[in-house]
Structure 1
């Protein structure tokens, strides 16, 4: 089991990165709430990971803190929720926001996430309510000093992408949104000089 990686961030293509550790480049997929915490390229960072082995692939999922990883692990234990859907859920809302949805029985917000129908949302709320009943949610601080809070866009140090709009649309599609839906959401929030991370964050917020 690979539980944590510390290395140099050499590639960023939301929601995936390549982290070089001791000469080995690990491909890792992150929920966007963790992706926003990443430093600039060629800087060192640490992420917590969850390793998934399938018949046709071995996949690494990364998280900015242990709280998000813990919630991811609880989500994939729910019937009908796999890693891809859990990733989509944590890309649309923070762990804290998800717990609030469960506490408030907020089906309307959950069903806006791609891949989550009404029945799945209701099952999520029922099963997660029991799992989170005694959860004292103390969000961990990021594991790297260079990480920043995802909601404070003005403080994020980002290198503008050559094609931020295209990168943002591709990322949203990979998270489960339809091409037309992703294109519409990105165009609605697009402003000059926005990075792909900013576009993704604002587009996701506009769809919830």
Structure 2
């Protein structure tokens, strides 16, 4: 498995279906890598400059294909997307291209299927399946990947409040995973951050869990 490649941008080739292939020279070897159009636009200004591309290698019966991304987080999200039933590599790249890393993660966690469905090739049912299968995983992963929403750290409930919230919601029958997901979403509310009353946090969490 090739984790990343560092080399010089030799060429960007547009293929049918809005696909873009990057020719990256590494130690006098040219690698052909399919990349999102977003990344291609950035690299277009860096011809012959040294860049680092995080890669995913796919081995098929008829070919070995490299997909390239701007960051390890973007590459890891691509892998999570392609693990969803019915989501192929091209749809995964289209999702990243259309929404970008941060907005795509937030749309999935918030179950914003309307936004997800704006991606070419993604219908309502596909968007619902993506949100259903990935929302819980990404709610935790986005913090680990350093994708915390601006201001999110400051609005997260303090330890004492968080403990009250968790104990109350556990007593109401919610799982730890559901509670973590709810807290991840409601913590983005800057108004809630100013309220030290755990009951307000609990009400907001229940409202989100009961949506």
Verify same fold: TM over 0.5. Answer: yes
The count of corresponding residues between Structure 1 and Structure 2 is 139
Distance change in 2, residues 1:104/1:130 (3 Å): closer
User: TM-score with structure 1 length normalisation?
Assistant: 0.63
CA–CA distance in structure 2, aligned partners of residues 37 and 66 of structure 1: 17
Measure the CA separation in 2 of the matches of 1:129 and 1:22: 40
Task: Give the structure with the higher percent helix.
Answer: 2
Residue by residue over 1:2-58, the C-alpha shift from the partner in whole angstroms, topping out at 9 and shown as x without a partner, is: 111111110012421100111110000111233233242111111110000111111
1:125 paired residue among 131, 139, 157: 131
1:18 equivalenced with 2:28 (yes/no): no
Asked which structure has the greater CA Rg, the reply is: 2
Q: Unpaired runs of 5+ in structure 2?
A: 15-19, 148-211
Separation (CA, whole Å) in 2 of partners of 1:110 and 1:46: 28
Residue of structure 2 equivalent to 1:35 = 40
Q: Secondary structure at the match of 2:91?
A: helix
Higher relative contact order (CA closer than 8 Å, sequence separation 6+)? 1
Task: Provide Cα deviations, 1:164-201, integer angstroms capped at 9, x if missing partner.
Answer: xxxxxxxxxxxxxxxxxxxxxxxxxxxxxxxxxxxxxx
Query: Post-superposition shift, 1:93?
Result: 1.4
1:95-126 deviation line (CA, Å, top 9, x unaligned) = 11011111322111111211111111100011
Q: Distance in 2 between matches of 1:69 and 1:22?
A: 23
- TM-score, structure 2 as length reference: 0.62
Runs of at least 4 residues off by over 4 Å: none
Note the aligned Cα RMSD (angstroms): 1.4
Mapping for residues 156-195 of structure 1, pairs under 5 Å? none
Could you tell me how far apart the structure 1 residues matched to 2:108 and 2:79 are? 16
Structure 1: segments with no counterpart, 5+ residues: 140-208
Distance 1:82 1:52 in 2: 12
Q: Structure 1 CA distance, aligned partners of 2:38 and 2:110?
A: 21
Structure-to-structure mapping, 1:1-208, within 5 angstroms: 1-14=1-14, 15-38=20-43, 39-135=45-141, 136=143, 137-139=145-147
| Of 70-79 and 97-106, the range deviating more from structure 2 | 97-106
Q: Are the equivalent residues in 1 in contact too, given 2:109–2:134 (CA < 8 A)?
A: no
